[in-house]
Amino acid sequence: MKINGHIEQSRPYPSPNPTVSLTEITYWSESVLVKGLLAIPNKETTDGLLYLRGGIQGVGMVRPARIAEIASEGMVVFAPYYRGNRGGQGKDEFVGVDRYDAVNGVDVLKQFVNGSLHVFAFSRGGIMALWTGILRQDITSIVTWGGVSDLLLTYEERVDMRRMMKRVIGSPQKYPVVYEKRTPLNRIGEITCPVCIIHGMKDDNVSFEHATRLVDALEREQKRYVTWFYETYTHYFPMKMNHEVVQRACAWMKNQT
């Protein structure tokens, strides 16, 4: 059965948190089998959260401790690995058809909750989250933390990633339309839920300009959003502050229900 979001297989996964159970899920997404990690807290909850990782392949891979941390705030969490990772089929195209691994991941999540659905994304996951909000109308809120919003800007700024992007996508000089189609800013008007933008203003991995461009697009379309900008932080926040921001973000999402 190749229905998007259909769970083909599941297996228990060791959890670092005694209050959260983890399961590795294998599900169908656009005719390939993709894997992801499901976290269910012991406390009763009706809300679900799709966590969208950053990076590509092994870089930025879903961390069980991070997923369990978020789930312990009182939401069922599902975090796709994206296609081509950890034994999943297909190839991670860096915001190509793999964006549907996030979109279809919502249908996985729906099989475990019957309440509001939220998206919480980091870095590359930010652009995946925006596409999820554009392509689905059942999302209650989106949090994008240090999130990419413009793929061409990433190519221009991240010289260290150009070789990968040329290999996976092609160069923007040869394929400008491809970069344009993978960037969601011109379709922000299709997002129906509020967006929370978290960004360190000294971020060198995903520049603050990504947050600025997203704000401009949301303003242009008169969409609901909030910004939490941190003047002294980079892409990675200190551990204590990181945890505080996770708690604050989860509380914000729950208030959108």
Annotated catalytic residues are: 123, 235
Cβ pair 83, 101 in contact under 8 A: yes
CB atoms within 10 A of CB 236: 12
Q: How far apart are CA 16 and CA 1, in angstroms?
A: 33
Q: Give just the sign of the alpha carbon dihedral 191, 150, 38, 241.
A: negative
Smallest CA-to-CA distance from 53 within 128, 134, 2 is with 128
Residue 133, helix vs strand vs coil: helix
Q: Where do runs of H (alpha helix) occur along the chain?
A: 64-71, 99-109, 124-135, 151-157, 162-168, 176-182, 208-220, 239-254
Helix 124-135 and helix 99-109, axial crossing angle in degrees, nearest 10: 60
